[in-house]
Chain A
Amino acid sequence: MPNIYIPLLTRVKSVVKENKANDIKTIELEFQKEEDYKNFNYIPGQFAEISIIGKGECPIGIASSPTEEGTIKFTIKRMGTVTSVFHSREEGDVVGVRGPCGNGWPIEEMKGKNIVVIGGGFAFSTLRSLVLYLLDEKYRKDYGDITVIYGNRDPGEVLYQDVLEEWKKRDDIKVVLTIDREAEGWTEKVGFVAPIVKEVAPSADNAVAVVCGPPIMIKTTIAVLEELNFKDDQILNSLEMRMKCGVGKCGRCNIGNKYVCVDGPVFSLAELKKMPSEY
């Protein structure tokens, strides 16, 4: 029985500044031991407890896709004690990783369906993972049409511009970017995510909507999806909760009898409606 609280050791391979405000960075990690990487089998939508040993640990969604081999990536917004230390990390620094944790997006059940990925702000990280996975040549044939709707406050906040450019070049995915207000040089959509979903979302027939973003965006988007006839089990959410252990022991991430860390973080709207609204 391994000690579930001991992290695997990795090193920072690269750090990418993701936004103009410079409070979001993507950190790429390389495992120190090859076998640790081999055993780190994850799917999109899972998270890991990452730590600066000596400073602390925090749960962060995995931004890389298992199809991007060799390293794993985390997009971290500078918010509290630990995330601030992460922002001062440089190439070669040691980072601890425990995981993968949580259930992840139900990639098996999504097979054969049209997929609408709806993201807002920096919550796009596990959606990046998901879309990269769906677009991989090994898996693309397993899924139907893919539509990505990604909203941000302003152009400077749009994450992952390199992969977005790649996606836009392809003809097997529709990418719709939007910002809240007009901005100079912006040629894509303008408006909140919910009305844009109403405008561009495909039919609910045989579709799954994956929604990730700030609470107000989730709320308004779900209302629109319901109008478009998406049923509760066709709408998937990933929840955030304060966590310490990430493995169902420290207690604090419960919503009713479910622990977000092990039973989630992905829940369908049908599941959420059965749970108390304590999140």
Chain B
Amino acid sequence: MEEKLLMKDQIAKLYDELAKDYSFFAPIKEKGNIVFKKASNPEEIELDYFNSKVPPKEVLFPKMEVLFEYSLDEKDVEIKERTDLDEKRLIFGIRPCDAHSFVLLENFFDFGEFKDEIFLKKRENTTLIGMGCNSPKSTCFCTSLEGHPFQRDDLDVMLVDLGDKYLVESVTEKGKELVQKLSWLTEATKADVEKAQDLSIQAEESFQTHLDFSNVAKTLDPNFDHPIWEEISEICIGCGTCSFLCPTCTCFDVIDETDEYNNRGRRIRIWDTCQSCQYTLHTSGHNPRNSCIERCRNRILHKFSYYPTNYNLIGCVGCGRCVQLCPVNNDLRTIIEKINKIEDKKEEKISA
């Protein structure tokens, strides 16, 4: 069989072997939360997890990242480019929804005349060993966005948790090479593969959230000035959690950090959010998105209207982080349902 088996007590062996060649990122428990971090030993790796609070996009697009470093003297500036982009990274245990977000991120950073080399090089040097979701939560809705808790397409290697072991399936050439190197993996049986298929079906059937995205973009387009935006933004406190923790959000601010005593520094980018009032504030004082109404609208339109228009993709993977973590429970699922109702009302009028 092409599929292999990895026993759960072999994770340390897997780590020891792969950590020689890769920076090994994995789900790790830190201050009560799961984070995707570079593991320094296999014991740190948390295998019983739902998903991380901060999406694994931070492995490739960290909260703070150096664009270049500089040194300054009286009359000269020297710029030092980053030299660490070729580091080989492996993300172990990434969920299929987050792996799909990497497709969106790659597409975005590669779009247009200007390519974001910093992200793209790191992406190119990254291998994804993903893990299917046996028990999706009520906040998950990847299946409403053509995703699946066992989607392999965006991974290099797919793992399925079979209880005491994982079914290992290589998806890409990159994945095949990696699995071949792990010569000690045992062969899977037909029963293992069938069990994985059953788990996949069970996981899919367990979804409680089913959202219809088919008309959302079409509905949003003519409803820019619809009163629904006031309703949707009413409880929003503009904290930006929804966008900071969104696996597809890419906005950033750029800042020069200078060590004045040593005449050196670095230009960095840090995550930013369209939910902040300062995000679009002009120096003149003018602000094109002056209130929460416009800012909430921008977030929804960006994901569900501008993204499909520009890239022919929906800017959401259905991970449900924004639903789980919004401090005022401004639930994206409800927002989408409200938007879908705009269309219903119109149709009613037409049929009447």
B70 partner residues in chain A, CB cutoff 8 A: 53-54
Tell me the minimal C-beta distance from A35 to chain B in angstroms.
16
- Render A88-99 as a binary contact track against B, CB cut-off 8 A, 1 for contact: 000011101000
B351 within 8 A of A: no
The answer to whether B219 has its CB under 8 Å from any CB of chain A is: no
- CB distance B114 to A250 under 8 Å? no
Instruction: Report the minimum CB–CB distance from B230 to chain A (whole Å).
Output: 16
CB-defined contacts of A26 to chain B, threshold 8 Å: none
Chain B residues, CB < 8 A from A241: 280, 282, 288
Judged by a CB distance under 8 angstroms, whether A234 is at the interface is no
Nearest chain-A residue to B111 (Cβ)? A248
Q: Which of A4-12, A65-73, A157-165, A169-177 lies on the face that meets chain B?
A: A4-12
* A57 within 8 Å of B (CB atoms): yes
Interface size on A, residues (CB 8 A): 41
Q: Contacts A3-B81, A276-B224 given: A249-B305 contact, CB under 8 Å?
A: no
C-alpha spacing A242/B280, complex, angstroms: 6
Q: Are A1 and B114 in contact (CB under 8 A)?
A: no
Residue numbers in A under 8 Å from B121 (CB-CB): 1
The answer on a CB contact under 8 Å between B256 and A92 is no
In this complex, the member of A5, A51, A55, A80 whose beta carbon has the largest number of chain B beta carbons within 10 angstroms is A5
Residue from B76, B112, B272, B282 within 8 A of A240 (CB atoms):
B282
CB distance from A94 to the nearest CB of B (A): 5
A56 and B255 within 8 A (CB): yes
Contact assessment for B272 and A248 in the assembled complex, using a CB-CB cutoff below 8 Å: no
Contact between B67 and A56, CB atoms less than 8 A apart: no
A278 to B296, alpha carbons, bound, how many Å? Answer: 13
**Pick the contact of A9 from B79, B82, B114, B280 — CB < 8 Å?**
B79
Cβ-closest chain A residue relative to B276 = A252
Q: Which residues of B contact A51 (CB under 8 A)?
A: 256
Classify the interface of chain A: helix, strand, loop or mixed.
loop
Question: Given the interface contacts A5-B67, A6-B67, A278-B288, does A96 sit within 8 Å of B77 by beta carbon?
Answer: yes
Are the C-beta atoms of B267 and A53 separated by less than 8 Å?
A: yes
Question: Contacts A4-B115, A244-B254; is A254 near B77 (CB within 8 Å)?
Answer: no
Docked Cα-Cα span, A159 to B289, in Å, equals 31
**Measured CA separation A31–B76 after assembly (Å):** 13
Chain B contact residues, majority secondary structure? mixed
Interface hits, A6-48 → B, CB 8 Å: 6-7, 9
B216 to chain A, nearest CB (A): 15
User: In whole angstroms, how far apart are the Cα atoms of A252 and B81 in the complex?
Assistant: 25
Identify A53's interface contact among B77, B116, B282, CB under 8 A.
B77
- Residue A79 CB within 8 A of the other chain: yes
Cα distance, A256 to B220, chains bound together (Å): 11
A27 to chain B, nearest CB (A): 16
**A212-258, CB < 8 A from B:** 215, 240-242, 244-245, 247-252, 254-257
**Residues on the B chain within 8 Å of A255, using CB:** 288
Q: Is the CB of B283 within 8 A of A83?
A: yes
- Bound-complex Cα distance A257 to B308 (A): 9
For A49, the closest partner residue in chain B by CB is B254
> Which of chain B's residues have a CB closer than 8 A to the CB of A3?
67-68, 81-82, 117-118
CB of B72 within 8 Å of the partner chain: yes
Taking the nearest CB of chain B, how far is it from the CB of A216, in angstroms?
A: 12
In the complex, which of the residues B254, B305, B306 contacts A57, with contact meaning CB atoms closer than 8 Å? B254
What is the bound-complex CA distance between A276 and B300, given in angstroms? 14
Is residue B213 contacting chain A, with contact meaning CB distance below 8 A?
no
Q: Is the CB of B252 within 8 A of A5?
A: no
* B:104-124 near A, CB below 8 Å: 108-109, 111-118, 120-121
Asked if B207 is an interface residue, CB under 8 A from chain A, the answer is: no
In the complex, chain A residues whose CB is within 8 Å of the CB of B252: 244-245, 249-251
Q: How far is the CA of A4 from the CA of B109 in the complex (A)?
A: 11
Q: State whether B288 touches A249 (Cβ < 8 A).
A: no
The answer, yes or no, to whether A185 is at the interface (CB within 8 Å) is no
A245 neighbours in B (Cβ, 8 Å): 252, 254
Instruction: Determine whether the beta carbon of A262 is less than 8 Å from that of B254.
Output: no
Inter-chain contact A1/B280, CB cutoff 8 Å: no
A274 to B: closest C-beta gap in Å: 11
- Which one, A93, A248, A279, contacts B114 given CB within 8 A? A248
Q: Are B294 and A278 in contact (CB under 8 A)?
A: yes
Q: Is the CB of B306 within 8 A of A5?
A: no
The answer on a CB contact under 8 Å between A250 and B254 is yes
Assess the B67–A54 pair: CB atoms within 8 A: no
Scan residues 192-234 of chain B and give those whose CB is less than 8 A from a CB of chain A: 224
- Chain B's closest residue to A253 (CB) is B280
Given contacts A55-B256, A250-B272, A251-B272, contact A6 B81 (CB under 8 A): yes
Name, among A93, A248, A251, the residue most crowded by chain B CB atoms within 10 Å (CB to CB): A251
Closest to B76 in A: A94
Take A3-B117, A53-B267 as given contacts and tell me if A248 and B112 are in contact as well, using a CB distance cutoff of 8 Å: yes
- Alpha-carbon distance between A77 and B75 when the two chains are bound, in angstroms: 24
A6–B79 CA distance with the chains assembled, in angstroms = 8
Given contacts A3-B68, A248-B111, A250-B269, 13 further A-B contacts (CB under 8 A): A4-B114, A6-B81, A53-B79, A56-B255, A56-B256, A94-B76, A241-B288, A247-B113, A250-B252, A250-B253, A251-B252, A276-B224, A278-B298
Q: Which 3 A-B pairs have the closest CB atoms?
A: A251-B251, A247-B114, A257-B306
11 chain-A/chain-B pairs, Cβ below 8 angstroms: A5-B68, A5-B118, A5-B254, A51-B256, A54-B70, A56-B256, A83-B283, A242-B283, A245-B252, A250-B253, A278-B288
